[in-house]
Amino acid sequence: MELLIVRHAIAVEHGDPAYKRDDDRPLTPEGMHKFRLAARGLREFTEKPDRIVSSPLIRARQTAEILRDALAPDVKIEFCDDLVPGGDFGRAVTFLRQLGAERVAIVGHEPHLSGFTSYLLVGEKCKASVTYKKGGAALITFPNGPGAGHGTLEWLVQPSALREIAATHSA
């Protein structure tokens, strides 16, 4: 399995009084614009996902929609509650395994995605230092499906590099 991991794009700041609940913070117009460019960059070197799974929080859903539009317009977005901050890594792995797909893209939040990536690469007892900027992405491969400590990090690309790749290929 190939697992494309994407952090949601730039959202309204935490604590903004217009959004009483943190879960309700949407992407900013700048975040949408920058991630559209980043998603075009991703399209240049990653395969179309068979499935796209998002945290149900609005900023992740909006990022997943932009990702889908750029990479796989015919793929329906699915939701996994264990991709929210504090979600259970083991249950997220079970969810991914049950999809039975070869290529899956997930969209979530920091620091949860860094922890999940570490869990997939080195297991529960060790920690790998991985950080996703807003709109950044990584690809992890698994020879026999996802599991704790079973993944290989193929690449981690931050959003500015993705936008640069998009600009280079559209020129």
Contact 139, 1 (CB under 8 A): no
Beta strands at 2-7 and 103-108: parallel, antiparallel or unpaired: parallel
Give tens-digit pLDDT for 53-71: 999 999 999 999 999 999 9
pTM: 0.95
33/90 Cα distance (integer angstroms):
33
CB-based contact 84:139 (threshold 8 Å): no
Rounded Cα distance between 161 and 163, Å, is: 5
What are the boundaries of each domain within the chain? 2-170
Whole-number Cα distances in Å, 14 to 22, 32, 100, 134, 156: 7, 17, 36, 14, 25
- Domain 2-170 indexed as CATH 3.40.50.1240: yes
Q: How far apart are alpha carbons 48 and 71 in whole angstroms?
A: 6
Q: Distance (Å, rounded) from C-alpha 109 to C-alpha 134?
A: 9
Q: What is the pLDDT of residues 11-57, one digit of tens each?
A: 999 888 889 888 899 999 999 999 999 999 999 989 999 999 999 99
Overall average pLDDT of the 105-122 stretch: 96
Count of C-beta atoms within a 10 Å radius of residue 24 = 13
Gyration radius from the chain CA atoms: 15
**Number of Cβ within a 10 Å radius of residue 94:** 14
